[in-house]
């Protein structure tokens, strides 16, 4: 079964119709303003295409994790303001998601304009485990679009959720996959089915538990697997028995066979695993903390001893990882190498990002913190083959899981 695409919808004609688009606008806020507008800029092209074709464009999105009730901290108001600044067409905001207020806002919307509805997670039915509750909300959203309405899912970052605005709504309106969803699927299929070799996977971030299933699923597919970030410490302690000071550790995984058996799994499939050879160990979690570079097998040998806290990979590791990336024809990177938000502990992440821009191979930045790091560190996004907007959804796809939002669109 082939899913209908945005191009199919545009070919049918949308002039005068109301099109409901699920976008991923879950951006970080800083003092009430949008801190990183990458997801907004990625979402606008589809919205503008529809508006240019004469549609009335309704947008649903979430921000943060409000507890099923309106919360000013998670209002989409600053997102709407930034959208209006960046967009070539008028962007309006509704103060409500559904109900009389939303209905009035939709009735006042002109063809060729965009209306952002309020945070969909302000309604407890969005994330409810009760299918009837979700179905009810989906019905109310569909009613806003009207009899000639259509639904476009362009929020790949949310397709792993069985939520009303992602999954249930697809049963209420003629449904189409947006350009972002189509692009993400194309890239992810290439990574899992036909990568050009050598194929290197770079994984970082803080928790092994977030990525253990990804590691297990990608070891048979990749030629080399690079491990960095805070997850190093759990693996170094569990697999090698190294002291790690007061570095982040998931103690419940130290004797877990899925962790302790990773080296054996890699050996069985002929996949090379590269751990850091050195780490930056600090006196505390602070931007100005005293710090030193120590070998991975001697992380407690510095002046801070067993109180040392690992916050980045060291320069030797950065060079080792960059060399492996340079020889690769396909690279997938998800998760920073250290606490990139602090300048003193951003060098490892910066080195990996730079290596991706310098390799001649196809490179994929796996969304989330990795994409934020690329922008925060000042890299030109065009220097990467693809910057994902997927985050957790991309990881679940790479684990081999079905994604409810994709299944609802009928994507094969």
Domain shared by 176 and 199, yes or no: no
b (16+ CB within 10 A) / e for 235-247 = bbbbbeebbbbbb
pLDDT(210) > 90: no
**pLDDT given for residue 88 in this prediction:** 95
Q: Give the number of C-alpha atoms closer than 13 A to the C-alpha of residue 354, restricted to the C-beta side.
A: 13
DSSP 8-state secondary structure symbol assigned to residue 5: B
**Same domain for 174 and 206?**
no
**Domain's final residue, options 156, 181, 206:** 181
Instruction: Say whether both 147 and 281 belong to one domain.
Output: no
Q: What is the CATH classification number for the domain harbouring 105?
A: 3.40.50.1260
Give the model confidence (pLDDT) of 349-376 as tens digits. 999 999 999 999 999 998 778 988 999 9
- Check whether residue 251 and residue 274 sit in a common domain: yes
Q: Report if residue 408 sits inside a domain.
A: no
278-282 and 309-313: which strand pairing?
Answer: antiparallel
What mean pLDDT is predicted for residues 195-224? Answer: 93
Task: Give burial (CB, 10 Å; 0-12/13-18/19+) of 11.
Answer: exposed
Q: Is residue 1 one of the residues assigned to a domain?
A: no
Task: For residue 31, give both structure tokens.
Answer: 């003092």
Q: Tell whether residue 103 is among the known ligand binding residues.
A: no
The pLDDT, as a whole number, for residue 174 is 97
Give residue 276's pLDDT band: very low, low, confident or very high (50, 70, 90): very high
Average pLDDT estimate for 221-235: 96
**Confidence band (pLDDT; 50, 70, 90) for 5?**
very high
Query: Which residues, 6 or more positions from 158, have their beta carbon under 8 angstroms from its beta carbon?
Result: 22, 24, 26, 62, 165, 166, 393, 405
Dihedral sign for Cα 197, 202, 208, 209, please. Answer: negative
pTM to 2 decimal places: 0.87
DSSP assignment, residue 219? T
- Residue 282 bridge partners (DSSP): 291, 309
Does some domain include residue 54? yes
Q: List the single range of 74-88, 202-216, 219-233, 321-335 with lowest mean pLDDT.
A: 202-216
The reply to whether 379 and 296 lie within a common domain is yes
* Residue 412 binned pLDDT confidence (cut-offs 50, 70, 90): low
Among 383, 335, 329, 320, which Cα is nearest to 360's? 329
Asked if residue 263 lies in contact with residue 238, where contact means CB atoms within 8 angstroms, the answer is no
Binding residue per annotation — 237?
no
Average pLDDT over residues 198-216: 92
Question: What pLDDT score was predicted for residue 409?
Answer: 95
Tell me if 341 is assigned to a ligand binding site.
yes
Q: Does a structural domain hold residue 206?
A: yes
Mean pLDDT confidence for 126-136: 98
CA of 397: how far to CAs of 55, 301, 368, in Å?
32, 40, 15
Per-residue pLDDT of 25-44, as tens digits, reads 999 998 889 988 989 999 99
Give the tens place of pLDDT for each residue, 291-306.
Answer: 999 999 999 999 999 9
Q: Residue 162: which domain range?
A: 6-181
The count of structural domains within the chain is: 2
Of 239, 308, 303, nearest to 280 by C-alpha is 308
For 97, phi then psi, to 5°, come to: -90, -50
Structural domain includes residue 110 = yes
Judge if 236 and 121 occupy the same domain: no
- Beta-strand runs (E) in 181-232: 199-203, 224-227
Query: pLDDT-based confidence at 2, cuts 50/70/90?
Result: low
Query: Is 63 annotated as a binding-site member?
Result: yes
Same-domain status, 202 and 177: no
Q: Does residue 342 sit within a domain?
A: yes
Instruction: Identify whether 198 is preceded by a cis peptide bond (ω within 30 of 0).
Output: yes
Tell me, yes or no, whether 343 and 206 share the same domain.
yes
Do residues 247 and 369 share a domain?
yes
Mean pLDDT of 333-361: 96
Q: What whole-number percentage of the chain has pLDDT above 90? A: 89
pLDDT of residue 59: 98
One domain for residues 207 and 332: yes
Kindly list the catalytic residues: 39, 207, 368, 392
Whether 186 is covered by a domain: the verdict is: no
Q: Is there a domain that residue 406 lies in?
A: no
Contact by Cβ (8 Å): 317, 350: no
Is the predicted pLDDT of residue 1 greater than 70, yes or no?
A: no
Answer yes or no: is 22 a known binding residue: no
Torsion on CA atoms 31, 349, 159, 105, rounded to nearest 10: 20
Q: Say if residues 334 and 366 touch (Cβ distance below 8 Å).
A: yes
Q: What pLDDT score was predicted for residue 379?
A: 95
Residues 177 and 292 in one domain: no
- Boundary of a domain, candidates 154, 181, 208: 181
Read off the pLDDT of each residue in 206-210 and give the average, rounded to a whole number: 89
pLDDT for residue 4 is more than 70:
yes
Q: In the listed set 146, 181, 216, which residue is the last one of a domain according to the structure?
A: 181
Q: What is the CA radius of gyration of the chain?
A: 23
**Same-domain check for residues 233 and 123:** no
């Amino acid at each position: 079964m082939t899913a209908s695409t945005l191009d199919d919808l545009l070919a049918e004609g949308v002039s005068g119709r109301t099109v409901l688009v699920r976008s991923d606008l879950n951006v970080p806020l800083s003092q009430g303003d949008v801190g990183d507008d990458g997801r907004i800029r990625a979402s606008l092209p589809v919205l503008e295409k529809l508006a240019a074709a004469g549609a009335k464009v309704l947008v649903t999105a979430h921000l943060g994790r409000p507890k099923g009730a309106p919360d000013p901290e998670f209002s989409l108001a600053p997102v709407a303001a930034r959208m209006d600044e960046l967009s070539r067409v008028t962007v309006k905001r509704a103060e409500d998601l559904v109900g009389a207020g939303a209905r009035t806002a939709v009735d006042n919307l002109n063809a060729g304009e965009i209306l952002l509805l309020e945070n969909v997670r302000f309604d407890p039915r969005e994330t409810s485990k009760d299918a009837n509750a979700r179905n009810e909300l989906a019905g109310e959203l569909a009613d806003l679009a009207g009899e000639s309405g259509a639904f476009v899912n362009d929020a790949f970052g949310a397709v792993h959720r069985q939520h009303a605005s992602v999954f249930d709504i697809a049963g209420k309106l003629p449904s189409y996959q947006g350009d972002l969803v189509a692009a993400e699927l194309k890239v992810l299929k290439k990574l899992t089915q036909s990568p050009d070799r050598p194929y290197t996977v770079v994984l970082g971030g803080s928790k092994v538990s977030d990525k253990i299933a990804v590691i297990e699923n990608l070891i048979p597919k990749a030629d080399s697997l690079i491990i960095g970030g805070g997850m190093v410490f759990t693996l170094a302690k569990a697999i090698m028995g190294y002291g790690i000071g007061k570095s982040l550790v998931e103690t419940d995984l130290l004797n877990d066979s899925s962790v302790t058996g990773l080296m054996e799994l890699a050996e069985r499939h002929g996949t090379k695993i590269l751990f850091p050879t050195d780490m930056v160990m600090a006196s505390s979690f602070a931007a100005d903390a005293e710090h030193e570079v120590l070998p991975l097998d001697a992380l407690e040998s510095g002046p801070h001893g067993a109180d040392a806290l690992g916050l980045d990979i060291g320069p030797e590791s950065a060079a080792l990882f960059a060399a492996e990336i340079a020889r690769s024809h396909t690279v997938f990177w998800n998760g920073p190498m250290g606490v990139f938000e602090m300048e003193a502990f951003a060098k490892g992440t910066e080195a990996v990002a730079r290596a991706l821009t310098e390799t001649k191979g196809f490179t994929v930045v796996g969304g989330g913190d990795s994409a934020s790091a690329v922008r925060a560190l000042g890299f030109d996004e065009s220097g990467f083959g693809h910057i994902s907007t997927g985050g957790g959804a991309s990881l679940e796809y790479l684990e081999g899981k079905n994604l409810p939002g994709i299944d609802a669109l009928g994507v094969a």
